[in-house]
Every structure is written in structure tokens, then in C-alpha cells.
Structure 1
Amino acid sequence: MAAMEVNVVPELPQTLSALYVGDLDGSVTEEELRRYFDQVGGVNSVKLCMDLNQQSLGYGYVNYTNPRDAEKAMDALNFTHLNGKCIRIAFSKREQTQSKANLFVRNLEQTINHKDLHDIFRPFGKIMSCKVVTDSNGQSKGYGYVLYKHEESAATAIQHLHNELWLGKELYVVPYLSMQEREAKFTNVFVKNISATTTEDDLKAIFGEFGSMTSVAVMRDEAGNSKCFGFVNFQSTTDAARSIEMLNGREFSGKEWYVGRAKKKANREKEMKLERERIALERPLDVNNVYIKNIDDGVDNDKLNELFSPFGTITSCKVMIDKSGISRGYGFVAFSTGEAASRAILEMNGKMIGTKPFYVRVAERKEARHKRLQSIFSSQMMVPPVAPQRPFFYGNGAQSGVNYQQRFVPPRVPMNPNFMYLMAQCHGSSQPAHPLMHPQLPLRGFRSSNCSIAQAMPTQNTLASALANAPPREHNNMLGVYLYPLVQLLEPAMAGKVTGMLLEMDQTEVLHLLESPQSLATKVMEAMNVLTNASQHRNWFSCP
């Protein structure tokens, strides 16, 4: 289709000297990016955006001294190949553009890529950015966006391309609307719980009182029977909203209708999930059901029943096992009354059974447990630095003014050669990761096919006994001596912060982390997620 050439304003404002460069190959470095864009003019600065592991995010920014050089780079280098991958360039100062110059394009043929879309819309004006949305495999989703410099260009593009055939498909070209705008301008209404005898004509008669409709449908199965729901699409958003207000909850043919805004399946499922989580969190705990963690391998269902039966009538008792029949180290005991469960928790929590102390609590649902742990970790972000009652020291002896609530600073202690050897093995190096371990407490082997933090764990029985004989004010420091080096193996950069967060948990749960490498890794990951989210929210991290 021949498109009209539209005159554009030749002048570029001085702000348009920064370019966004996307779809970069992971091997591209900042120096390569600078050399590539230096071909067309003087590059002032280059920034390749990285994640927290210093891996390329696949995009970056190039700033030119002269805006005209940026324009030349846009024309000469857009959709060219760098390290074997086609790059996409856009002006990054989008706040200078007009909102009505942004277009949404739908019903694109699958073979149309970024460059093809750019070529289709280029005759109508200066394009600031152009993109076809793709899935994780790089396949087109059939829609995209075109941002012009001027509103007039966008209006002309709509006039000439909307409803036009392109490669056998009719293009749908309209001004782009944000999610909030789209939600506010809905016209499609969903009606359910209608009678099986209700027809399209019935819906037209009822909804027609509120305004003009473009379509009405009652959904039916393959046999033509009503599924008892349907859709009414209005011409006006106001009419659609008024029909919902007036008809939702009204009774027709003995049925109370639900009338609401029609939503996509993905949005409905997301809302339903949030509602289920809300209900689960608000629902009271099952106080009759007790959760036991840190169970010794020698404890089976019968043994667990024997241990907890003195506290009341047990309705069910189970130690969880894996596919091989091996204990997972936790289980549940359900009592007939909440009083029996409370007695069991009071008497059994922290009690040494076999080689491990039991961790006993009221059973929590997954959502509630996650929220509680999130609250524990998040609360640490709000605790201001305070001077500790007894000083902690870095390994080099420098005193810290921050207590474990902000960051655990391990005390200086003699090195344990066995522990140092295991730490070095785990790092694949002859040099240890950190010279910390209490010399009097022995190490213990774990079932593991490879060297891991499991080999560096202390003996639970010995540590629990040491804690029992120490004053409470010393407990966190003693646990931290063991915990810090293990956390450092997993998260070296944030080991002190994460250790401090974990030490806020129940003492028996911390002992369990020292016993279970898998549980420790999970909790460290949860803590890092909280730290990362909080850092991003407060803009603590930025693109390097």
C-alpha cells in the first residue's frame, strides 16, 4: 500500500541527545557500545545496565554531545546488527513528547518485526520509538507500539493505516491508552447467573434502556444450550457503567444477576488469587494442629504419636517423607482440642529428641507463614543503628557501632582447621572464605553427594547444650558465630545484614537452619528478596 509522505518539523530540541539501545546481545560491553556509536558522532557517555550479579540486562543508554549526532545514529544504526543481534534504538527523553503521539497497533502478521513496523509507519512522520511485543522465545504477539514526535503524525497514521490490509491482516491502529485509562473507558459488560431460557433479545430489551449497544451475546455449549452467562458491549463507557450500577444484583426470572465489567481471564485469575490469599490470612489459625520441625531421622509416625499423646487425644499424626520414604524432617500432629495443642507446644518446643531439638508451633498456612517471615525480615529495614550493650568486632579487630539487628558483626575467634578446610573446599580454593569458627564445638557430616555448606555445620546437641549453659544475652552472639560463615558462603556481599535478620527468628528455628543446609539456603534467599525489594523501592541500587 502506498502511503503519503508527511512533512515533519526539522528542528530537534536540545534534550534529544540521549538514546535508549535495546535488544543487546549479552556479550556486548560498554566499550563496544561506545565504539559502535562513535561511528556517527561524538559520544559523551555510555551506560550498559546490569543486574545485581553484574550481568547485562540487554539494554543501555548512549548520550551524545550534539542532538543532531543522536538523530544521525537513530537513522544509521537502528535495526543494525551488533555482535550478531539486531539492536533497537529509541530517543530516551520521552517525557518531551506528546501523549497523543503514541499509537497502539494490533493484528500484526506474525513475520512483522521491529524494523518492518518502523518502515510501515515511517512515511507519516518522525518516529521516536517503535516496538513489536514478543514472547520469551522472541515470537511476535501480534501487537506493538509506535511513538511519533508529533501528534499530527500519529493522527495521519491512524487515518491512513487503521483497518487497512497489510500482509493479509487488517491493521488496528488507535491512540495508546494506559491501563488506568483503559480501565476507566471500558464498554464491555459481563452478565452471569442468567436463566437458561434468557436469550439475546431478552438482554437487548433489558440493557437497551441504558444506551446504544454494538453487540449482545449469550454464551452456549456445542449443543446450543445456554451457559447462563453472556456479554453486552455498549458504544459509550457511561452507558456501560450505568447498566452495571442499575442491574447488578437485580432478580430476573428467579435469578439474581451479577453484572460487572468484562475482564480478561488473566486479570480475573489474578484478582481471584489475591482474594484467596486475603481470606487465608484473615482466617484464624487451626489451633488444634501442631507443626513440628527439626525431627530426627529416627522418629517415625509411631514415635511421634508416642511423644505427643501425653498431652491429649490425637486425631492424626504424620511425619512427612519424600518419594524414597526418607523423612523430610518435619511433621504434623492434630489434637482434638486447642488446649492439648497448647500444652504440647509449651512442653515440646526446644526439647532434645534424639540428636535434635524439636521446633514446635501452631501450624500456619503457607500464605500466613510467608507474611510473618516477610514482616520479621522487613522490620529490620526500619531499625535505626544503635550502640550494642557489648561490643562486636570485625575480624580485624575494628569495633562496630551497629548491633546485630542492623548487621551481625562476627567476633574475632580462633580458627578451626577442619572448618577452614571445608570452607576452602566449598569455594574450590586453597584460601578460606572467612576465618571464623568456635574451636571447642566439633563439626558433623551430612548426607550430601557434593561439597556444600552441609559439611560445615555444627553438632546441634553440643551447641544446644552450650546455649542452655550460657546467659540469654550471649545466645545471639553464639549462634551468629556459626551462622555468619555459612551465610557468607551463600551471599558474601550481604552476609552481615542477612545474618542479623536471621538471628531475629526463634532460637530453635535458627538451630534448625544450622542443621539443615536446604532450609538455610531458603531463608537466606527470602532475606535477600526482602533486601533487594526494599533497595529497589528506595532507589538504593541504580544501573552501574
Structure 2
Amino acid sequence: MDSTAAIVPNSSNESLESPQDEKLSLEQFRKLFIGGLIHTITDEKLKEYCSKYGEIIECVIMRDREGRSRGFAFVSFKDRATVENFMKDRPHIIDGKKIEPKRAMPRNEASKAEGQLTVRKIFIGGIKEDLTEDKLKSYFQKFGNIVECNIMKDKEDKLRGFGFITFDDYDGVDRCILEKPHIINEKELDVRKAIPREQISRVNISNTNQNSEFYSPTNLIYNQPTASPSSYTYFQPTNYFYKPMPLMNTNDFSPATLSYPSELSKNAYSLSAPLTYQNKLSNEEKSRIRLTNDEQYRKLFIGGLSLKTTDETLKDYAIKFGEITDCLVMKDQKGQSKCFGFVTFINSEIVDEFMKQRPHIVDGRQIDPKRAMPREEANNDDVHLTVKKIFIGGIRDGLDEDTLRKHFEKYGNINDCLLMHDKNGKTRGFAFIEFDDYDSVDKVILARPHTIGKYHVDVKKAIPKDQRQFQHQQQQYALQMQAATAYYYYNSLPYHILNNQIRSPYNLMTQNGAFIDDIFSHIQISNNNNNHSNSFHYTPTRNNGQQTLHSSQ
């Protein structure tokens, strides 16, 4: 089995199996998810607005147990053409707030980790030799305007079996997902949303980890010795592991009792001691660190670069906006671009202007600029996500929505400010503010700590539930990958097993017909007042080049 086929899940469970399924599918094309609703809006008000575009079959605002709006709704139109017109006529503003309409996904898609994320790029697997970029573009352009189409190749110019297409609008991606399956030249393609790396789990962008090519989940899936040159990646959902592995049952013991090999402890997905240390810094200490390092306010992270973009070409473009003190495109150990870089300007005003002038096109490709985060923030997974909403904690009774707005409006245009109250009207101690641009959120994070009046408030990025769930699933998947790698690496197998013999999650799960959780089933873990007996510690010992597992009794 080739590596491309290995990552394509069985599509039989996604196909229509009955007339009822077919009916539901047709209804799906007429349904919209409406997010970003103001909390005071009613079903009637939403229906009144949407009915301007055509007849409505159903309009429901989702509410909690106490009857309060959850900020989103579903609207079903009578025909599909009305949905198309509604999406083409964006942006929509209801009660002074811009709403976020998206095509509602069928249940089999919505249940996937990436199902609800808003992206403009798709991953396409199962690509054969007879499929060219022109054919691929010709097929998918009916779903929306295509900005870029790439079929990935290795250093010997051989197809790697997958590609990426970037649309100019997220709706083009959602249409592709709704229209599955996609068949070109009588071959079904595996089409999924391509998730930006910052929306998964933060990776070690410096790539100084000597074991990255052995422990990277991307490499295990694609069977490639180096990471994909794209700034996007595709992680298979965790349902390849049919039941939780006993070794990774986090309910049975605390992470502190896990004993990793030293090699695994260097991995970007393992527990990080500096993270604990940084969390102990006070607001005053963090502020003092920033004051002594104002370079941070002058630095941009530039993602989504073309493989052919060099330090010079990036600098030639960025210098149009102002003087540059440093410009660097990051490269791997073989000198190949990692498709992102950093640009440092002489002052922060140039950074502000650069961000205002988005979008930017460099070497024919739209780049993804973001404000670079300081080192003490960079260990926080959430800080790298692209969101428009912030969470504000530690709010006292003396703070109201107007005061919050006044403090934060200097960072950008505010769409909504909501101070949470209980059913008795008392403040719950936290609030949410939504900006019209993700850059405003990054500016807020860079400016921490925040003091309003005499009170310090806790400001973080507000992570949508779908992204939080996706993040959690990927962290669990990474832990499972580590456990699998530990087994192979410390069970008398040479390094090359990771790149030559493990070609799919199915092969990874089984050796001599056993799943990973069965492999580890002989490990007994007990949890009695945090006393753990018979727990295995991976300690490599070398006898004539062999490595073995030892149990610490």
C-alpha cells in the first residue's frame, strides 16, 4: 500500500446510504450557520433580515438552558440559489454587528476536528501521475476563485501524492467539502480542509530539535524525512486509534509521573519545563521584560511564503514600507525554505502601516503577516492562533462595558463587547470583546499586562470551542505518536524504521497483528493516592548495538 492510499479513510461511511440520507444531503445545501449574532437578537429579527433574500423554511437561534442566546443560529432557505446569493452579498450587518455566515456542514463532516474551522485552503490526497495542476485547477475553480494551486513533489521532482489549493474566500472551501466526493479521471480524491500550523499545536519553529524528523506526526503520516514545505499541514483525526491506549490514559496519573526517554523530552510536543517557569512571572516582570526589548513591537512573523522566496526578495518587498533592520527566511538543515520568516523594521509605526496594507502578495503568493510574539508568550499554544475575540478575566463590580470599550478601542475597531452576568444580574467576573481584525487581538496581547482603573485584568485570546476541541485532539494524537515511536525506537529497531517501514497509521498500529494499546496492555498502571506501581520507564541500554526496555519495580 502506498503512503497516499494509507491516509485516505474508508469513504463508505460518508456516502449516502438511503433515500433519507439523500434528502438530508439536499437540505444541507439550503442551510446556513449564522455566527457572531448579538445576544439580544430574536428569531423574528433574524428571520426578517434573511427573508430579504428568499423564502425561509426554518430559522432557529440556539439558546442555553436558561433561554439566553448562544450567539449563533441556523437558517434554512427554500432553495439552494438563495444560499448562494446570501453568501455572495457578504458582509451582512444585523443590529449594528457584522455576522459570520457559513454553509452548515453535514453531521459526518461537522464531527471532524477540522470540520468547523474557517480556512481558505484545501488538502487534496490521492493524486496520481496523470493529474496536473492545470487539471486540478480546472476542476476546482467552479467552487470559487483560486489564488494558488500546488501539487507537491519531492527533491527528485516525483509526485508526493497530494496537493493544496488556496481560494480567495473561505466559502470556496466549504463548497468543496459539501460537494464531496470529488472524482477526477475516474479516481476519487481525498479532499479536506488544510489547517494552518498555528491552529493546530505550536511546533518548534527553530527546528533545532535533532529528533524532529523521527517524531514529527507529519512525517509519520506522509512517510517523508522532512516536513512539508507548505505552511499548512494535514493531520489525520485520532479515530485511527480505536480505543485509548492505557499508557496515555491521563485520568490515571499525573503528567509528572510519566517517564519519557531523553530523546522524547526534546520533542516539541513533550512537556516543557520552561512553560511552568514562565507562568510564574508576575505582570510587572513581564512588563519590564518588554520595556527592555522594544524590538518585539518592530518585528513581524511572515507566514505563507513561496518556496522560491529568499531573504533578498522578501526584503525588497518589505522595504517599500520603511527601513528594515533584519530580514530572515527560515530554512531547514538542507537549506530549503520553511515557508516563513521574520522581518524587523526600524520602528513600530512601520509595522502598523504594513498590517493596515494587507493583503500582501510576494512572488505571486499571498503571505500571512502577524505580529511576532515575545519569547515569554511564545510558549503559550493559544497565542499563535488567529482569532478576533479576547477573553477578559478578573473583572470587578466597578467595571462596565463602556469602561472596557474605552480601554480596548485604541487597539482596533470593536464589533461587540459583552460583560457576562448571572441570572440575578451580578457580574460573573469576565467578559468578551470582539474586534473586526485579528491584528487588533495580537496588539492587545503584546501590550499585556492591562490595568483598568486600579484593577489588573487577565486578558487572553478567546478560543472558539471547535478550535479548542481540535487542539485537544491533536495534542492527544501527538502523545499517541510519541508512545508508538518510543515502542519502536526502544524495542531493538533502527532509526530508519520510522521513514521506511511505517507507511500508514494502520501499519503504525500493528506489528504481528496487535494494536498499539494491545502492545502496551501488559503495562499495569495503578493510581492509589498518586502511588504508582509496576510503571514502565523507558531507559535505553545498549548491548552490542541493541536497545531494550526495563521495568522499574
**Structure 1 length as normaliser, TM-score?**
0.23
Q: Which protein has the larger Cα radius of gyration, Structure 1 or Structure 2?
A: 1
Q: Looking at secondary structure, tell me which structure has more helix per residue.
A: 1
TM-score relative to the length of structure 2: 0.23
Question: Which structure ranks higher in relative contact order (CA pairs < 8 Å, sequence separation ≥ 6)?
Answer: 2
